[in-house]
């Protein structure tokens, strides 16, 4: 069996990361940056414990054209959040009860009516190279 172990290690295909394009629309300005955060469980949802976090500076004209942010994810179920860090202070500004003061958007076009956003309602399946559209509010 030992002599076949190296063969087994080379015959198992690696899990391939998929190309995911996050298309962000409805920006109010070209100031600051956009931050994409990816979560894989309701236990870590909207915490600092992300699967992936990517920050992209905005440039002139981005608010009119929208912004495309490329990321890579392994196949699975995820929920994405995007916020517009307008003042470029590297955090999502919120009021004293935790409601965001800066524009935010979630995958699956989830917009909670009352209370915090729910992971299950923002959860999407990533099984192929794809585009995820997120509209900021």
pLDDT tens figures, 36-57: 999 999 999 999 999 999 999 9
Task: Give the model's confidence band at 15: pLDDT under 50 very low, under 70 low, under 90 confident, else very high.
Answer: confident
Q: In the chain, where are the structural domains located?
A: 17-135
C-alpha 63, offset from chain centre:
19
Alpha helices in 12-124 (DSSP H): 62-65, 119-122
Residue 35 has pLDDT above 80, yes or no: yes
pLDDT tens figures, 44-92: 999 999 999 999 999 999 999 999 999 999 999 999 999 999 999 999 9
Query: pTM for the complete prediction?
Result: 0.89
Alpha helices in the chain (DSSP H): 5-11, 62-65, 119-122
The Cα–Cα gap between 118 and 130 comes to: 23
The arrangement of secondary structure in 17-135, i.e. its CATH architecture, is Sandwich (2.60)
Which residues sit opposite 79 in a β-bridge?
A: 39, 123
């Amino acid at each position: 069996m030992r002599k076949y172990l190296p063969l087994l290690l080379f015959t198992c295909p690696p899990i391939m990361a998929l190309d995911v394009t996050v298309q962000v629309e409805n920006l109010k300005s070209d100031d600051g940056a956009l931050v994409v955060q990816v979560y894989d469980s309701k236990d870590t949802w909207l915490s600092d414990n992300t699967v992936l976090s990517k920050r992209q500076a905005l440039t002139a004209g981005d608010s009119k054209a929208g912004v495309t942010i490329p990321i890579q994810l392994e196949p699975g179920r995820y929920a994405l959040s995007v916020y517009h860090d307008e003042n470029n202070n590297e955090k999502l500004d919120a009021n004293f009860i935790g409601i965001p003061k800066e524009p935010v958007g979630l995958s699956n076009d989830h917009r909670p009516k009352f209370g915090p956003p729910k992971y299950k309602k923002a959860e999407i399946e990533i099984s192929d190279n794809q585009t995820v559209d997120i509209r900021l509010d």
